[in-house]
Amino acid sequence: MTAVVVTRGIAMEDALLAYNAGRVDALEGRRDADLAEHPETGADYRRGFLDARIEVVSMHAELRKLLGHEG
């Protein structure tokens, strides 16, 4: 028997898949407007997208620091 966790009326798996799709798209430098505006999983997609973009900015800041280009 498989347990299905439901949040906001959608299966947790759908929310996690949308979040991961957002992360992948952000790391590839593209955004899927349809996924971002999806009525059920759009918020999860956008959150994943934003989390990944924050990681990219942090990595760039660390790289600049390592190379001595602070500012």
d(CA 7, CA 48): 16
pLDDT number for residue 29: 94
List phi, psi (to 5°) of 4.
-115, 120
The answer on pLDDT for 67 being more than 60 is yes
39 and 69 Cβ atoms separated by less than 8 Å: no
CA-wise closest residue to 53 among 32, 10, 24: 24
Full-model pTM: 0.79
Task: Output the six-digit token pair for 25.
Answer: 């798209």
User: For the segment 19-54, what is each residue's pLDDT rounded down to a tens digit?
Assistant: 999 999 999 999 999 999 999 999 999 999 999 999
The answer on pLDDT for 64 being more than 60 is yes
